[in-house]
Amino acid sequence: MKANTAWPVWLVLFVAFTFSSLCTAQTQEEEGGGENRQWFSVDSINAGLGEAPEEVSRLTPREAIRSFVKLTEQEEYEAAAHVLNLAEFSEQEQREQGAELARQMAEVLKRGKWLSVSDLPGREDAMIVDASGQNPRAGEVRRSVELATLRTRGDTYAIRLGRYRVGEEEPAWLIMPISVTYIPMLYERFGPSMLENYIPERFQSSFGLLRIWEWIAIPVFLLLNVFFGWVVYRFIGLLATLAPSGGVSIFAGQIGVPTALVVVSLVTQALLGYVVSFSAVATTTFRVVLISILAWGIGTIALRLVDTLMLGMTRRLVGGIDDTDSKDDRKLLTTLYALRRIIILVTVTGVSVYILGQIQLFETLGMSLLASASVLAVLVGVAGQAVLGNILSSFQLSLAKPIRIGDLVIFEEEWCYVEGIFYTFIRLRVWDDRRLIVPVTYFVTRPFDNLSVKGTKMYRSVTLTLHLSADIELIREKFLEVAKEEDDIIEHHKLLCYVTSQTGATQTVTCYLMTSDPMSGWTAEMHVREKLMAFIRDHHPDWWPRDVVVISHRDIARGEGQTQRSINAPNDASSEEVSDTEAPGDRDQSEST
C-alpha cells in the first residue's frame, strides 16, 4: 500500500527537477546571448594581412578611426588596412588589395563626409552615455556604430564600424565587410577629380583643415563664380532693355540678381561633382551655401513674379487701390498677397530644413531635442508668441477675407484703404495719404467698419438746423434739384428730405442721398450742404435760428427799476437796447421781432 502511494511523490519531484534544469539552461543561454550581443564572434580577422602593428589601435570606435586617419595621412596604407574587415576577400586578395582599399577609403572620408572623430564613442562597448538621463537608449551597449552615410547614383550607402572578437582575444573595432565592398563605388564618386592629376605632389600635403592646393584653388574658384554670375546678370539686364515695355521688362529687370545666383549655384554644384573635388570640409560648406542660394534665388524669382502680377493689377485698377474697383479684382489681389507670404514661408522652411539636414543637427542632437521638446515648445511659445500670432492672423485674414486689398475701412475713427496685408502688419492708406501701420493681431482684435464688404454704395445725410418758419416743401424741392445735378449721387428715387427733430425755436431738417462709393459720397454731401446753405443765405436769411435774450435789473429797495432789453439775431450784427423807468409794482415788458 505504501509502495503504491509513493509514486505520485516521485513524479512530482521528477517534474520539478526537470523544470528547474530547463530554467537554468535557458538562463545560461540568455547570459551567453547577452555576451554575444557585445561583439561579433569570428574565426579570424584579416588573416592575409598578418598581425596588426602596434600603432594600430582598435579598442574603441574613436581610436580605430583616429588611428586609420593618422596612418593614411602618413601614407602607411598597409597598416591602415588592419582597420578594415576584409572578410569578403581571400587571404591573397587581402594582401594585394588591402592597402589600396585603405587609400581609397581615406579619400572617400576626406571628400565625402565632414567627419568629426571626437563625436564617435570613446568606450570599448560603445555604450550610449547620457548624463542628463533624457535619452531612452542611455546605457545601451552596441556592437556596431554608423560612421558616415554617403549618397551616390541615387542610392544611400552607410559606412559602419563593427566590434569583432576571435576566441578569447581582445575585441577590435573594424569597418564592417559590407561597407568595405562599397569602397570602390564610393571612390569613383568622391575620389580625386581629373584636375588633381596635374597638381604637383608638393601641393598635395595637408595644411590645417585643407590641403595646400585647396587654399589656392578655392579663392580662384570663387572669383570665377563671381565673374560668371556678373556675366549672367548683365545678360538678364540686356534682355530687360530689349523686351517690350510692360510687365515682361519689369519682371526681367527685377530677377537679374536671383537668376545669376541660381545659375551660378547649379554650375558650381556640377563642377564640384564632376570637375573639381575639394575636401569634405570645403565641399560640405559649399553645398550648404549653394543650396541656400539656390532656394533663395528660386523663391525670390517666384516672389518677383507675384509682385509683377500685383503691380499689373494695380495699374489696371487705374493706378490706385480703392473700393471703387471690382470686388473680384480686389479679392484676387488679396489672394496674390497671401500667395506671396506662402512662397516666403515655404522657401524659408525648405532652406532651414535642408541646412539642418546637411549639418546633421538632427542626427547629433535629435534625441536630446525630442527629450526636451516640451521645454523648447515653451521657450518658442513665449519668445515668439507675438510673431507667430501675427503670422497666423495674417493667414486667417487671407483665407477668411473679412478685408481685402483695396477695401475702405473705418479703423479707430480713421478712413483708410487696405493697401497691403503682410506677415506681421497691415498697411492702411489714410484718406490724407498717410500710412497707418497696424500689427495684424491688434487689427483683428479691434472692431472696424468695412464699407466695401458687400458693396460700395452708401447712404449719406445732410443735416440743417433752421427756424420754425422755414418752408420745408421749398427746401425739399431745392434739395432734389441740387442732388440730381451731382454725378456721384445715384438712385434718385431714394432721395428723401424730412424734419427729423424739433425744439422750441428750431427744427432739424435731414436730407438723405445714395452715393456710388463712400469717399465720393462724402464729397457729394459737402457739395449739397454748401448749395443748400447758399440758397438759404441768399434768398431766405430769416430761416436761420434766432435767440431772444432779456436782461432785467430792478432795485427793489428804492422802489424803482431799470430794464434793458437786447434783441440779437445770429445772422444780424445789429442789436437793439431799450431802457424804461417803471413805477414800483409794474412788470417788465419785452418785445421780440
What mean pLDDT comes out for the span 280-288? 73
Which CATH number is 518's domain given?
A: 3.30.70.100
Together in a domain, 264 and 323? yes
User: How many angstroms separate the CA atoms of 199 and 223, rounded?
Assistant: 20
Give the CA angle between residues 237, 239, 245 to the nearest 5°: 100
Together in a domain, 448 and 462? no
Chain-centre distance for alpha carbon 180: 43
Q: Which CB contacts under 8 angstroms, 24+ apart, belong to 15-24?
A: none
Res. 586: pLDDT tops 80: no
88 lies in some domain: yes
Together in a domain, 380 and 446? yes
Q: Minimum mean pLDDT among 111-115, 237-241, 475-479: which range? A: 111-115
Q: Report phi then psi at 467, rounded to 5.
A: -70, 160
Q: How confident is the model at residue 270 (pLDDT cuts 50, 70, 90)?
A: confident
| Number of other residues whose CB lies within 10 A of the CB of residue 9 | 9
What mean pLDDT comes out for the span 54-61? 89
Tens of pLDDT, residues 363-420 = 444 444 444 444 555 555 555 556 666 666 666 776 667 777 778 888 888 888 888 7
Amino acid type, 84: L
What is the per-residue DSSP string for 271-311? HHHHT----HHHHHHHHHHHHHHHHHHHHHHHHHHHHHHHH
3-state secondary structure of 592: coil
Q: Report phi then psi at 102, rounded to 5.
A: -65, -40
Closest CA to 52 of 166, 162, 160, 182: 166
Together in a domain, 405 and 486? no
Together in a domain, 230 and 333? yes
Res. 32: pLDDT tops 50: no
| C-alpha distances out from residue 413 to 233, 401, 430, 431, Å | 49, 21, 11, 12
Structure letter (DSSP) for residue 517: S
User: How many angstroms separate the CA atoms of 105 and 183, rounded?
Assistant: 6
Strand partners, 173: 163
Burial of 37 (0-12, 13-18, 19+ CB in 10 A): exposed
pLDDT on residue 201: 67
563 lies in some domain: no
61 lies in some domain: yes
User: How many angstroms separate the CA atoms of 23 and 44, rounded?
Assistant: 34
Tens of pLDDT, residues 124-158 = 888 887 766 666 777 788 888 888 888 777 788 88
Higher pLDDT, 16 or 481: 481
User: How many angstroms separate the CA atoms of 109 and 116, rounded?
Assistant: 10
What mean pLDDT comes out for the span 36-54? 86
Amino acid type, 259: T
What mean pLDDT comes out for the span 232-251? 82
User: End-to-end distance of the chain based on CA atoms, in angstroms?
Assistant: 150
User: How many angstroms separate the CA atoms of 54 and 536, rounded?
Assistant: 117
pLDDT on residue 250: 78
Cell of 124: 570599448
Together in a domain, 355 and 387? no
Alpha helices in 144-255 (DSSP H): 177-180, 183-190, 212-242, 247-254
Cell of 344: 516666403
9 lies in some domain: no
Together in a domain, 153 and 279? no
- The range of the structural domain enclosing residue 110 comes to 40-127+140-191
What mean pLDDT comes out for the span 256-265? 88
| Number of other residues whose CB lies within 10 A of the CB of residue 414 | 14
Do 459 and 513 meet the contact criterion of CB atoms below 8 Å apart? yes
Question: Which of 426, 454, 482 is the endpoint of a domain?
Answer: 454
Which CATH number is 423's domain given?
A: 2.30.30.60
User: How many angstroms separate the CA atoms of 271 and 199, rounded?
Assistant: 17
Higher pLDDT, 563 or 506: 506
Higher pLDDT, 61 or 356: 61
Cβ-based neighbours of 472, under 8 Å, separated by 6 or more = 497, 499, 509
Q: How confident is the model at residue 273 (pLDDT cuts 50, 70, 90)?
A: low
16 lies in some domain: no
Amino acid type, 360: Q
What is the per-residue DSSP string for 38-54? TSEEES-S-GGG-SPPT
Q: How confident is the model at residue 535 (pLDDT cuts 50, 70, 90)?
A: very high
Structure letter (DSSP) for residue 84: B
pLDDT on residue 448: 83
pTM over 0.75: no
What mean pLDDT comes out for the span 205-210? 68
Residue showing cell 434718385: 492
Provide the domain count of the chain. 4
Alpha helices in 55-90 (DSSP H): 61-73, 77-80
157 lies in some domain: yes
583 lies in some domain: no
Together in a domain, 260 and 401? no
User: How many angstroms separate the CA atoms of 553 and 580, rounded?
Assistant: 11
Do 165 and 124 meet the contact criterion of CB atoms below 8 Å apart? no
Together in a domain, 448 and 500? no
User: How many angstroms separate the CA atoms of 425 and 19, rounded?
Assistant: 77
Together in a domain, 187 and 219? no
Together in a domain, 186 and 46? yes
Q: Report phi then psi at 366, rounded to 5.
A: -60, -50
What is the per-residue DSSP string for 446-487? S--EETTSS-S-EEEEEEEEEETT--HHHHHHHHHHHHHT-T
What size, in residues, is the chain? 593
Q: How confident is the model at residue 310 (pLDDT cuts 50, 70, 90)?
A: low
What is the per-residue DSSP string for 378-439? HHHHHHTHHHHHHHHHHHHHHHH-SS-TT-EEEETTEEEEEEEE-SSEEEEEETTS-EEEEE
161 lies in some domain: yes
Alpha helices in 57-161 (DSSP H): 61-73, 77-80, 91-112
| Number of other residues whose CB lies within 10 A of the CB of residue 526 | 12
User: How many angstroms separate the CA atoms of 189 and 183, rounded?
Assistant: 10
Res. 166: pLDDT tops 80: yes
Together in a domain, 56 and 165? yes
What mean pLDDT comes out for the span 487-500? 88
